[in-house]
Amino acid sequence: MPSGFEQTIRVQLRWRDIDMLGHLNQSVYHEMLEEGRIALMAEIMRRIGDDHRADGGFVLAHVDLDYHTEVRKDHEEVNVVVRLAHVGTSSIVLEQEVRLIDGTLAASGKSVLVAWDPAARGKRALTEREREALA
């Protein structure tokens, strides 16, 4: 049940992001994906409403990532694209990409976020309000 939710953020590369081989360190890709997820989740939470916070949030349950082409310091910036791909009963699946500014796909993958009940310290079903906001 994809919803058309998509966020693109531009991320400036920093000197510390580059490894000794001259390209983006693999761990930095995950930081960038996290920034993209935060941007998308902020929009989702805005649509659900502030009073939703009592229900709990979401936790990251799975990430997979494939590398397609290198990102170098001289690229200076990349775009991180995150889109809602699937809504389950207690989780959402996000498709994520890191793209060079010219549009070249540098990395792609998926993340699974699970609705979290902070009192029970475990997963919970998505609320009806969440499901409506994600539809």
Average pLDDT over the chain, rounded to an integer: 91
Is 95 a domain residue? yes
In this prediction, residue 133 has a pLDDT band, given cuts at 50, 70 and 90, of confident
Which domain CATH number covers 121? 3.10.129.10
Global pTM value: 0.88
Dist. CA 105–CA 107, nearest whole Å: 6
What's the mean pLDDT in 40-68? 83
Is 87 a domain residue? yes
Is 1 a domain residue? no
Q: What is the pLDDT of residues 56-66, one digit of tens each?
A: 789 999 999 99
Q: What is the pLDDT of residues 2-19, one digit of tens each?
A: 446 899 999 999 999 999
Domain that holds residue 120: 6-134
Is 125 a domain residue? yes
In this prediction, residue 55 has a pLDDT band, given cuts at 50, 70 and 90, of low
pLDDT at residue 37 above 80? yes
Is 108 a domain residue? yes
pLDDT at residue 51, rounded to an integer: 61
Is 85 a domain residue? yes
Burial letters 85-101, b for 16+ CB under 10 A, else e: bebeebbbbbbbbbbbe
Nearest to 44 by CA among 8, 95, 79, 84: 84
Q: What is the pLDDT of residues 78-96, one digit of tens each?
A: 999 999 999 999 999 999 9
